[in-house]
Amino acid sequence: MTPHISAQKNQIAKIVLMPGDPLRAKKIAETYLENPKLVSQVRNMLFYTGNYKGIEITVAGSGMGCPSIGIYSYELFKFYDVDYIIRIGSAGSYSENINVYDIYNVKEAFGESDFAKICAGVDSRILSSGKDLFEKIEEIAQKNEIKTFTGIAHSSDVFYRLENSVEFAKKNNLDVVEMESYALFATAIATNKQAACLLTISDSFITKEVTTAEERQNNFMKMVELALATAIEL
């Protein structure tokens, strides 16, 4: 047990899929896992462990933002001996070529804080995903004829920005925006583990398309299935 996770050590799998929304974690677990068991619900951040095609997997909410996922991912890596975390979340598109419901596999995350310096001793605004895990996702996507986009994600600390978001993205060569991958990659570096981030585009800064919360909860399953297909081959 840790201050933020009440599960016993043997109740958390070596592979964790991590959506931001705890209710999305619940839906994923109940849809895909055999005999899913609720193993932690501190602060209503729901963690479920079950089996998928014979492989034990935990699906756990992370909350929003780098501080939140930073706490959960560090505790999972450090105190629960988790080897792999795949964030499965939503993102906004800065690109006219990346549209709503497209899947984005984050190769690098651009952060806006000193999180990586403080957590992992890495003084850089850009962090890479786990190379082996990133490449495995791409391999599985190709095998299953799932198109993915990849590049640099903006891991923003501010949802309501003063500066124009698209102009900021152009200056920094950013494709999409979300709020967690930078901290997840930092905690993986700090603990010598593997992390990746899969995103489904929920809205576009270019076309102004926007999905509802219900659509995000129910219609992002292709990304989830890609993460699960990757998990069983790790």
Q: Indicate the residue type of 129.
A: S
pLDDT at 29 over 90: yes
Helix (H, G, I), strand (E, B) or coil at 126: strand
In whole angstroms, what is the distance from residue 129 CA to residue 218 CA?
Answer: 26
In whole angstroms, what is the distance from residue 49 CA to residue 27 CA?
Answer: 13
pLDDT band at 218 (very low <50, low <70, confident <90, very high): low
pLDDT for residue 212:
79
Half-sphere exposure in the Cβ direction for 164 (13 Å, CA): 5
Quick: pLDDT tens for 115-162: 999 999 999 999 999 999 999 999 999 999 999 999 999 999 999 999
pLDDT at 217 over 70: no
Domain ranges of the chain: 15-232
Helix (H, G, I), strand (E, B) or coil at 117: helix
| Cβ-proximal residues to 211 (8 Å cutoff; 6+ apart), any chain | 90, 100, 101, 202, 203, 219
Catalytic residue among 81, 114, 132, 203: 203
pLDDT for residue 214:
74
Quick: pLDDT tens for 167-210: 999 999 999 999 999 999 999 999 999 999 999 999 999 999 88
Mean pLDDT of 13-27: 96
Name the region of 205 (left: φ>0; alpha: ψ -120 to 50; beta: rest).
Answer: alpha
Nearest Cα to Cα of residue 157 among 112, 125, 201, 197 = 112
Mean pLDDT taken over the chain:
96
| Inter-residue contact 61 to 22 (CB < 8 Å) | yes
Domain 15-232 grouped into CATH 3.40.50.150: no
203 as an active site residue: the answer is yes
